Amino acid sequence: MLGPVVRSVDRLWWARTIARSAVVDSEFYAAQLGLRRLPRSLVIAHYVVSGFRRGMSLNPLFDDIVAGGELPEVMRVPALYAYLLSERETVRIHPWWDAEEHGRTVGGPALEHVWAHRDELIRLRVAGREASLTVSEVRRLAIASARSWRRHRVARAATPSPTATGLVRPVQARDRRYARKVEQAAARAAGPRRESVVVPLVGVDSAQWVSAHLLTRVVPEVVLHGHPRRAPWTRVLGEAATVLPATTIVALDPRAEFTDAEVDALLEAVDEDHAVMPAHRSQDGTVHGIGGAETGGRSPWGILSHHPVDDLDALEAVVTVPLLHGRSVALRRRALLDVLEGDAPDTTAAFARSLRTRVGMRVLTSLRPVFDEPLHVFDEKTPGPRGGGGQQDRDAASVFLDAAGYDVLTWRPAADGTVEPRLQWRRPHPGAERWAIKICAPAGRQGAVWGDMHFARGLASALRRRGHTVVIDAFDARGRRTAYLDDVNVVVRGPYRIDPLPTGVNLQWIISHPDEITRAEMAGFDRVFAASERWSRLVRQRWGIPVTPLLEATDTDLFHPSGVQRTDEIVFVGTARGIARPSVVAPLRAGIPVRVYGPDWRPFISQSAIAARTLSHADLPRRYESAAIVLNDQWPAMRQHGFIAMRPFDVMAVGGRVISEDVDGIEEVFGGAVLTYRDEEHLVEMLRADPDEIFPDATTMARISERVRREHSFDARATVLEEAAAAHRRPVATRDRGRPSQDGRDAAL
């Protein structure tokens, strides 16, 4: 009942805040709606109700998609509203105009300044080039392109000059990463090789459309094509190929990002007789298919689809497969035009079948880009006609399954219209097991920065040293179709619940969010471990479940002393988690400098305190070792229940120094080398002291560091998990785990 009322109040507040600003351009917004003019009040109302969700913008120098990537809650609130409430001087608001740099010149928010001085020149920079235009000129260009947005019509560009290689880089609707993709395409067009480039804009949002057109003012070599959202992929590809005067063409799937090295690798692997594709991964991180095979279904089967990406490690770097699978391909232009001329195929499956009659297909198995977002375009509801291949393609697919360590038991129909194999894993040696580590992190670039992912990689390396085959499943792959192959499932329980599987031994390792764990959740596992002595004891007493304490650990492959010189910097690494974390905010408020590495801090601290939004995991050991002090705090529930975070283990492993919130057992685990504070006042007092005076001497710290690496490594934890799995080992088969008691004790502790 209250939902509509709350939403209405929110929109009214957004509208009032935006109305007080002087940057609303009613004519520009009306152009996006296909109108000449619209009252300012109606423009703002449309924007806050629905326009901002389509990437529509109230100002031609404010790209809602780009700005939204810098601001909090952008999927819930309009980007312009969030901008007006932030440190405006520090927000990147446009992909090609550096408003931060301009703001430093004028001494304030650049957008407001240039909008009041429209004859002022600004510089648009793309791919190492720049163009100086007045704000009025940029506005005229933006309005002109906005008028063509809904019609998907772009201005005709000159045909590119003949080149050795060409790039088709589609951009789809809702792509929050579009600016990086388009700029990469522009850099290849403007670079030394002068690659010919077509960027099809397929059903894109307004901001994507307008910014892409402004880019061509700086790099006119980029050719834009406009397409409606439901345009067939083969038509988009065909129109691009027609105007690309390149000998070899690479077309990239709009869902994935590629490095230049990956694009070059695809182009360089093409020859007269073969097209080339990458080993794409689906959005859940599993293999999308290293090529396709006609195995008897309505659609080709993606070879090794739904398998963990780790299974590709056993394959050769370049393999030949029966069919293209997916929308990323590099091939000779002549072969592409041959496939698309005349009665052109209208689905990706039909295209792959037709391409097969002209060239062979190779896969670069080390190129594994992830579909970081779902497909919002190229609607193909009707599967292509069943093709040939049959047993021949099954035999070809079996070669890769054999190389990956599997025997085919049978072939069976699947729900997606394919026929897929039922497999059996072949043990490389007696005693080897197949372990699957399941985590709460997403796949791809987004999940790569999660601590859960680094946790899983450290544990996987330790288990592999013990002779096991180990795969890592991102959250969306927790119940993948090929999970029946795994002997042991280790659920690393973070912020989300992951249920046990009906096959294999199921171990649960709870490392955070103990307040959300229920008795019912734990009851299905063969063994449960928790990173807290106190909480494990409480669960045993209250629910009668034998939870074993198993603290977090450190990856000693990375975290060990390197002799880097210590600085006087106080460091914090981590996300803001949507709250004003006291270990960061309290020192800054007291005037103590803290270098903060992590996203989402903008609403809570000054931008000047943010050293970087990200810090690679490989750089963490040196950053921790070189810091005078590393700050640590916990989720409130973790602190309450005695869960020690991973950070103190990592810092101590490199010989660093930590000041942390007090957590039950932390001083005993680290032998007094990790100092704790009682409250914010105590923290500030400690940070104002000389670190050499409050921490143990160097010899003692080195001894404790060595003990942490020995006793709290992932190798030590792997030994415990292996023993637990051995105690419950039995054939991989579906088991009835029973139902947890319904006596009212299933609520979280």
pLDDT in tens, 615-643: 999 999 999 999 999 999 988 899 999 99
Eight-state DSSP code of residue 323: B
The token pair at 429 is 């040696």
Q: What is the pLDDT of residue 746?
A: 52
Strands 419-425 and 406-413: antiparallel
Would the pLDDT of 386 be above 80? no
Q: What pLDDT shows up at residue 634?
A: 86
Yes or no: say if 174 and 184 are a contact pair by the CB < 8 Å rule: no
- pLDDT tens digits along 641-659: 999 999 999 999 999 999 9
Long-range (24+ apart) CB contacts under 8 A made by 229-232 are 229/173, 229/202, 229/203, 229/376, 229/377, 229/379, 230/203, 230/377, 230/378, 230/379, 231/202, 231/203, 231/377, 231/378, 232/346, 232/347, 232/378, 232/380
Give the percent of the chain with pLDDT over 90: 85
Q: For residue 688, give both structure tokens.
A: 């104002």
Q: For a pLDDT cut of 70, what percent of the chain falls above it?
A: 95
Q: Which residue, chain included where needed, has tokens 């002997």? A: 487
Average pLDDT over the chain reads 93
> Which single residue is written with the structure tokens 């680290």?
670
Residue with tokens 């079948």: 353
How far apart CA 662 and CA 679 sit, in angstroms, is: 9
Query: Which two three-digit tokens encode residue 413?
Result: 């129909």
Tokens coding 459: 């544990």
Indicate the SS3 state at residue 167: strand
At 421-452, the pLDDT tens digits run: 999 999 999 999 999 999 999 999 889 989 99
- Dihedrals φ, ψ of 281, to 5°? -115, 140
In terms of Cβ atoms closer than 10 Å to its own Cβ (0-12, 13-18, 19+), residue 26 is middle
Give the model's pLDDT for residue 70.
Answer: 80
The tens digit of pLDDT for each residue in 464-515 reads: 999 999 999 999 999 999 999 999 999 999 999 999 999 999 999 999 999 9
Burial of 453 (0-12, 13-18, 19+ CB in 10 A): buried
**CB neighbour list of residue 501: distance below 8 Å, 6 or more residues apart:** 479, 483, 486, 489
SS3 696: coil
Amino acid at 381: K
**In 480-635, which ranges are continuous DSSP H helix?**
519-523, 533-543, 582-589, 620-626
Q: Assign 256 to helix, strand or coil.
A: strand
Q: How far apart are CA 161 and CA 159, in angstroms?
A: 7
- pLDDT greater at residue 624 or residue 7: 624
Rounded distance between C-alpha atoms, residue 15 and residue 21, angstroms: 10
pLDDT band at 325 (very low <50, low <70, confident <90, very high): very high
- Examine the pLDDT at 749 and tell me if it is beyond 80: no
Three-state secondary structure readout of 275-287 = EEEECCECCCCCE
Q: What is the pLDDT of residues 216-241, one digit of tens each?
A: 999 999 999 999 999 999 999 999 99
Per mean pLDDT, which range of 268-277, 286-295, 320-329, 739-748 is the poorest?
739-748
Domains in the chain with CATH codes? 2-147 (no CATH), 163-395 (3.90.550.10), 434-549 (3.40.50), 570-712 (3.40.50.2000)
Query: Pairing between strand 222-227 and 196-202?
Result: parallel
Amino acid letter, residue 649: F
C-alpha count within 13 angstroms, C-beta hemisphere, residue 647: 22
Stronger pLDDT, 545 or 389, i.e. the higher one: 545
Pairwise CA distance, residues 172 & 170, whole Å: 6
Amino acid at 386: R
The count of C-alpha atoms lying within 13 angstroms of the C-alpha of 659, restricted to the half-sphere facing its C-beta, is: 28
